[in-house]
Amino acid sequence: MTPPHENAPTRAPLPPIEDLLERVHVVSLPLNTRFRGVEHREVALVDGRAGWAEFSPFTEYGDEEAATWLAAAIEAAELPSPVPTTGTVRVNATVPAVDRDEVPAVLARYDGCRTVKVKVAERGQSLADDVARVGAVRDVLGPDARLRVDANGGWSLTDAERAIDALAPFGLEYAEQPVATLDDLAALRRRLQRSGTPVRIAADESVRKAADPLAVVRAEAADLLVVKAQPLGGVRRAAELVREAGLPATVSSALDSSVGIVQGARLAALIAPDTERAGAPRGGFDAGLGTVSLFAAEVVPRPLVPRAGSIALRAVAPDPELLARHAVPRERDTWWRERIRRCHAVLTGRDRPA
């Protein structure tokens, strides 16, 4: 993929709040499987001058954090794509924290995906549940599939070491955010290196939720980064972070709709040369952008679900009828619009001279 033109803008101007709100549509999309504790995903979609964009920070996030997601939406809505909108991006399947008996049905939604991210460390579940789930994925896909696990920081340092030792025989590509803190992440990586456990450590929350995303690099706490377009402020900002970090990286979604997945796919295409130079395996790490398969309904006529293990880089546009069908109730629409207004004020304050 070609890089953005050297004179292309890297940040979209902040539109007036009323202009922005006039172009917002808030929808609630049902999921096939409970994920992150929810059965419906609420997202705000923006009909932008350069295309459709998504603003969908999780409802528990505060305004300061959510404002960065709004900056990403404004970038996608107002600036042209930094990469060609043709071609494909290889993606992984995502298996939520389901019982092992449910694994085959989940995997059946991901056409041709040979890499799978398995959710582990779910509250209320045990390591035995995680081992059974990962084992079921290996049984379904065979020895050549690439498996990775994502704990979302749910293990303690001791539990993480024990869990990774138990899961390593399944041939893990990496363990994503096994512990919550940067210090524990660095300590775990050192312990695994000393024990000879062949599992990479990937940092997600330690990058996207950190005041200093590059601290994880200086602490030598990760072998690779997991980056997401929305939480990092947009495609261009996230790509610059990867270049500065100098580590291999893969792109993941934040349970985005197809509109948000477009932003992630563009980021994956943009960082591909940098992450390969940084030492990623040949062909790089498959992106975690197949999550539209977790949705039971969408607002675009042709959702960006995996086909032959990849998703297209094409732009998408919601269908007006589907937007109306999945529109949230008035009180939820008001809640999202007030949130956007507050986040816009945060971004306005960031733009003011100190």
Active site residues: 119, 228
Pair of tokens at residue 331: 């009180």
Strands of the sheet with 24-35, listed across from one edge = 24-35, 38-47, 52-55
Distances (CA, A) of 249 to 17, 75, 206, 210: 34, 22, 13, 17
CA distance 302 to 105: 21
Task: Spell out where 143-287 has E strands.
Answer: 146-150, 172-176, 200-203, 224-227, 249-251
Q: What is the dihedral angle through the alpha carbons of 17, 18, 19, 25, rounded to the nearest 10 degrees?
A: 90
CA distance 73 to 50: 11
Other beta carbons within 10 Å of 333: 17
Helix axes 235-245, 63-78, angle to 10 degrees: 110
Tell whether the torsion through CA atoms of 102, 103, 106 and 112 is positive or negative. negative
Residue 321 burial by Cβ neighbours in a 10 Å radius (0-12, 13-18, 19+): exposed
Say if residues 323 and 297 touch (Cβ distance below 8 Å): no
Say if residues 144 and 114 touch (Cβ distance below 8 Å): yes
Question: Mind giving me the DSSP string for 82-95?
Answer: SS-S-SEEEB-EEE
Tell whether the torsion through CA atoms of 34, 97, 255 and 333 is positive or negative. positive
Say if residues 311 and 290 touch (Cβ distance below 8 Å): yes
